[in-house]
Amino acid sequence: MPWERLPLAVPLYIDQERIVFIDQNVRVGVPRSLGDTLRIQSTGGTLYLRANAPIKPTRLHLQDVRTGEIILIDITATDGQGQPALEPVKIVKTSGSSKSYGDTTETSPSDTKAEAALTAANSPPTSQQTPIPVVLTRYAAQNLYAPLRTVEPLPGVLPVKSRRDLDLTDLMPTQPVTAQWLGAWQLEDHTVSAVKLQNRALTPIALDPRELRGDFVSAAFQHPRLGPTGRASDTTVVYLVTHGRSLAQALPPALSPVDASTALTVSAVPAVPGGDHDQ
């Protein structure tokens, strides 16, 4: 796991020891709330973590004894019955500044300015940056479907709060699905919102982003179709990316039914027999 100033997720299983290699002597800051729930042993740049009871998400501070630098790790402890053993974790520091989500080029320290200028002059201008909607969608999908230990760090991303009771009835009005907001993350001026979709019909549904209503930069489904209701395949997630606005602001306004008692009645003006009528 590369340390890029973002907390690293290290899940634990109850009564199973997990080893964390840091390659530096550290002091461990543990919240008092853990008490005797977590056993920590540190020796020679290696941590041995063992939980004897469930632990809710808790942050530990690992401080380098020599430099004072702090590394943050988030631990949880759950029942691991029937699960394969968790492999050891090695935390490595990234050299220099952390690579941006759009930076895919590396320069060797031996390269001189003249060599770099010559290379740039002889190379055609190509864009190697990954679009932010792609990066955000991948990050959201990893947070929902991948183990926390495999989530790739994304510098600059922030979780976004929203109303869980957000009305998404009109998100896909042409299909018999229910929609529920799950979470959102923001990077610069783009936001990705994860929405759960569930089929209410007895027939499968092929998902088409053109049936989504709203002002979205991009939309991606976790699965291409929904199975009939009642099956495990009847649920999926759609990732909606917006620019400069939240999901609530990107949705179209809800249409309220017209009150028949206040509706206007338009009557035709009868023609005047025998000629034109006066204005």
Band the pLDDT of 184: cuts 50, 70, 90. Answer: very high
pLDDT per residue as tens digits for the range 136-167: 999 999 988 887 667 777 888 888 887 778 89
Least confident of 16-25, 113-122, 144-153, 154-163: 113-122
**Across 126-130, 176-180, 263-267, least confident range:** 263-267
Give the per-residue pLDDT at 197. Answer: 96
- pLDDT at site 273: 52
CA angle 33/8/150 to nearest 5° reads 125
259: pLDDT strictly greater than 50: no
Residue 228's pLDDT band (cuts 50, 70, 90): very high
Q: Which residues of 33-72 are buried (b: 16+ CB within 10 A; e: fewer)?
A: ebeeebeeebeeebbebbbeeebeebebebbbeeeeeebe
Q: What is the pLDDT at residue 156?
A: 85
Task: Considering only residues 107 and 68, tell me which one the structure prediction assigns the higher pLDDT.
Answer: 68
The answer, yes or no, to whether residue 275 has pLDDT greater than 60, is no
* Model confidence at 198: pLDDT above 80: yes
Return the higher-pLDDT residue of 62 and 127: 62
pLDDT of the residue at 256: 54
**CB distance 210 to 259 below 8 Å:** no
List, for residues 40-71, the tens digit of each pLDDT value. 988 878 899 999 999 999 999 888 877 778 88
Q: Is the pLDDT score of 277 beyond 80?
A: no
Which of 162, 158, 213 has the alpha carbon at shortest distance from 183? 162
Put residue 32 in one of left, alpha, beta given phi > 0 → left and psi -120 to 50 → alpha.
Answer: alpha
What domains sit in the chain, N to C, each tagged with a CATH number? Answer: 2-93 (2.60.40), 136-250 (no CATH)
Predicted local confidence at residue 100, as pLDDT: 47
- Mean pLDDT estimate for the chain: 80
Q: Is the pLDDT of residue 115 over 70?
A: no
- Measured from the Cβ of residue 28, the count of other Cβ atoms closer than 10 Å reads 15
Phi, psi at 244, each rounded to 5°: 70, 15
CA distances from 168 to 178, 235, 259 (A): 8, 16, 23
Average pLDDT over residues 266-275: 47
User: What beta strand segments (E) does the chain contain?
Assistant: 2-3, 8-13, 18-21, 26-29, 38-43, 46-51, 55-64, 70-78, 89-90, 92-93, 158-160, 177-187, 190-199, 205-206, 218-221, 225-226, 235-243
Given pLDDT bands bounded at 50, 70 and 90, which one contains residue 77? Answer: very high
Is the pLDDT assigned to residue 97 strictly greater than 70? no
Instruction: Check residue 162 and give its pLDDT.
Output: 75
